[in-house]
């Protein structure tokens, strides 16, 4: 099975991590797995991969113009388009959509499927309108492909609402690497039996960029501290990741929650698990449908760390971490109250840990994912 995507897997983002896991699974099944990438820049190729890679990766020549990627003619690109090998392409990316349309026209009988990772929220700018047009075009072209895989029932229902036949749309939630799940198991076992002293340690994992809304999380931390008004109940936040907003966020944390926020930057997988091992709640504070799943929530839940995310139209991130033990409405205004309540109620936190781990085992465990993988790619 061949894959086509904008990014260079495995990477740190959701799209490349999904492509990586698919390639690994197909390799394990004895199938040849090749990934074609439009953004395999030399700088990225010279950096160590965050996860081991055994499958073949093929860089395609491309030219970047702002946020747009334009593929350039090459022998690898011609081979990708002319081949009869089954092809699975990852959206959103206008260039990827254009290439798979050409591949479909060149070979109408070829098995070509799409992975719909997220709907885009178009900003009121020229670039935003162009991406809005791309999304409208993509939604209207989905019926030309063998199947459309998406990551949650929420996105499946949204795709069906655009006119895609229900039989074409299939759900395959994201998964964790087998090794990560193995390392998370003893962390979960320890967390499920550990007594919870008063206080709460929050964690956020992701790129420090505008729509991740770490600023909202810092504000919620400060507001929760005022709600508690109990000095012996300490609230802390670990921020894992880097990005253009880091300096501004550090200034905000120093002003609003002095001594309560620690910025760790980008860390390796082992360090990330060590930080999760001492966390009590992961918060995914993104406020756009561009964040459609949040694999970091799986990492937390596998470690028996409850996760929460905001309810947002055309996003499945709140569905991922749905936990009946948490009194959570999915709204920004409710976050300080949730933090304060968990910090002062060890019994509730223990129930939330158990609920998070149970949901991971039932919905997202590697064994469950493997079975679903076989089902969704059946012709």
Pairing verdict, β 62-65 and 68-71: antiparallel
Q: Is 182 contained in some domain?
A: yes
Taking CA atoms, 193 is separated from 3, 321, 342, in Å, by 42, 21, 17
Cα–Cα distance for residue pair 150/156, rounded to 1 Å: 6
> Looking at the structure, do residues 236 and 252 belong to the same domain, yes or no?
yes
Taking CA atoms, 176 is separated from 5, 17, 79, 85, 361, in Å, by 19, 9, 31, 27, 12
The pLDDT score that the predictor gives to residue 285 is 95
> Looking at the structure, do residues 168 and 305 belong to the same domain, yes or no?
no
Q: Is 348 contained in some domain?
A: yes
Distance of CA 127 to the CA centre of its chain: 24
Cα–Cα distance for residue pair 335/325, rounded to 1 Å: 15
Token digits of residue 325: 């033990």
The pLDDT score that the predictor gives to residue 146 is 85
Phi first, then psi, for residue 304 (nearest 5°) are 65, 35
- 3-state helix, strand, coil split of the chain in percent (to 5) is 45, 15, 35
> Looking at the structure, do residues 298 and 165 belong to the same domain, yes or no?
no
> Looking at the structure, do residues 246 and 325 belong to the same domain, yes or no?
yes
CATH code of the domain containing 74 = 3.40.50.2000
The pLDDT score that the predictor gives to residue 197 is 77
> Looking at the structure, do residues 156 and 215 belong to the same domain, yes or no?
no
Burial of 322 by CB count in 10 Å (0-12 exposed, 13-18 middle, 19+ buried)? middle
Q: Is 54 contained in some domain?
A: yes
The pLDDT score that the predictor gives to residue 88 is 97
Considering only CA atoms, which of 76, 168, 71, 60 is closest in space to residue 114? Answer: 168
> Looking at the structure, do residues 323 and 357 belong to the same domain, yes or no?
yes
> Looking at the structure, do residues 88 and 186 belong to the same domain, yes or no?
no
Token digits of residue 214: 């770490």
Average pLDDT over residues 44-72: 81
pLDDT digits (tens, 9 = 90+) for 249-262: 999 999 999 999 99
pLDDT at 201 over 70: yes
The pLDDT score that the predictor gives to residue 41 is 54
Q: Is 375 contained in some domain?
A: no
> Looking at the structure, do residues 264 and 342 belong to the same domain, yes or no?
yes
147: Cβ contacts below 8 Å, ≥ 6 apart: 113, 114, 168, 169, 170, 376, 377
Q: Is 193 contained in some domain?
A: yes
The pLDDT score that the predictor gives to residue 32 is 85
Average pLDDT over residues 90-104: 95
pTM score, two decimals? 0.92
Last residue of a domain, one of 121, 138, 172: 172
pLDDT classification of 44: cutoffs 50, 70, 90: very low
Cα–Cα distance for residue pair 38/43, rounded to 1 Å: 14
> Looking at the structure, do residues 168 and 286 belong to the same domain, yes or no?
no
The sign of the torsion formed by the CA atoms of 189, 193, 195, 201 equals positive
The pLDDT score that the predictor gives to residue 345 is 92
> Looking at the structure, do residues 202 and 264 belong to the same domain, yes or no?
yes
State how many domains the chain has.
Answer: 2
Domain that holds residue 269: 178-364
pLDDT digits (tens, 9 = 90+) for 122-136: 777 877 788 889 899
Last residue of a domain, one of 128, 144, 172: 172
% pLDDT > 90, the chain:
78
Average per-residue pLDDT for the chain? 92
Q: Is 240 contained in some domain?
A: yes
pLDDT digits (tens, 9 = 90+) for 133-160: 989 999 999 988 989 999 999 999 999 9
3-class secondary structure, 163: coil
For 190-195, the CB contacts below 8 A with 24+ separation are 190/277, 191/277, 191/303, 191/304, 191/305, 191/353, 191/357, 192/304, 192/353, 192/354, 192/357, 195/346
% pLDDT > 70, the chain:
98
> Looking at the structure, do residues 143 and 212 belong to the same domain, yes or no?
no
pLDDT classification of 195: cutoffs 50, 70, 90: confident
Average pLDDT over residues 286-299: 93
> Looking at the structure, do residues 184 and 333 belong to the same domain, yes or no?
yes
- Look-up of token digits 């896991």: 21
Last residue of a domain, one of 103, 138, 172: 172
Cα–Cα distance for residue pair 58/77, rounded to 1 Å: 10
């Amino acid at each position: 099975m061949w894959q086509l995507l904008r990014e260079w897997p495995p990477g740190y983002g959701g799209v490349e991590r999904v492509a990586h896991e698919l390639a690994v699974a197909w390799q394990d099944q004895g199938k040849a797995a090749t990934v074609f990438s439009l953004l395999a820049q030399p700088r990225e190729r010279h950096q160590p991969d965050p996860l081991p890679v055994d499958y073949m990766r093929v860089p395609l020549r491309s030219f970047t113009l702002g946020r747009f990627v334009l593929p350039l003619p090459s022998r690898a690109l011609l081979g990708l388009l002319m081949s009869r090998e089954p092809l699975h392409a990852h959206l959103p990316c206008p260039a990827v959509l254009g290439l798979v349309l050409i591949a479909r026209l060149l070979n109408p009988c070829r098995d070509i499927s799409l992975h719909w990772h997220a709907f885009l929220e178009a900003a009121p700018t020229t670039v935003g309108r162009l991406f809005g047009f791309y999304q409208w075009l993509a939604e209207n072209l989905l019926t030309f492909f063998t199947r459309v895989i998406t990551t949650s029932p929420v996105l499946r229902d949204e795709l069906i609402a655009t006119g895609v036949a229900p039989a074409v749309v299939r759900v395959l939630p994201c998964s964790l690497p087998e090794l990560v799940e193995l390392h998370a198991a003893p962390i979960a076992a320890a967390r499920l039996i550990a007594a919870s002293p008063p206080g709460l340690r929050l964690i956020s994992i992701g790129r420090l960029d505008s729509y991740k809304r770490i600023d909202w999380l810092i504000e919620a931390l400060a507001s929760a501290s005022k709600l508690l008004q109990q000095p012996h109940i300490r609230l802390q936040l670990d921020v894992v990741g880097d990005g253009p907003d880091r300096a501004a966020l550090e200034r905000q944390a120093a002003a609003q929650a002095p001594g309560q926020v620690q910025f760790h930057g980008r860390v390796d997988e082992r360090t990330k698990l060590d930080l999760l091992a001492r966390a009590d709640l992961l918060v995914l504070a993104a406020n756009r449908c561009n964040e459609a799943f949040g694999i970091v929530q799986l990492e937390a839940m596998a470690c028996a760390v409850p996760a929460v995310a905001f309810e947002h139209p055309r996003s499945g991130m709140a569905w991922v971490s749905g936990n009946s033990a948490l009194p959570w409405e999915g709204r920004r205004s409710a976050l300080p109250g949730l933090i304060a309540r968990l910090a002062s109620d060890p019994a509730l936190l223990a129930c939330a840990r158990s609920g998070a781990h149970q949901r991971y085992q039932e919905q997202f465990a590697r064994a469950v994912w493997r079975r679903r993988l076989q089902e969704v790619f059946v012709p």
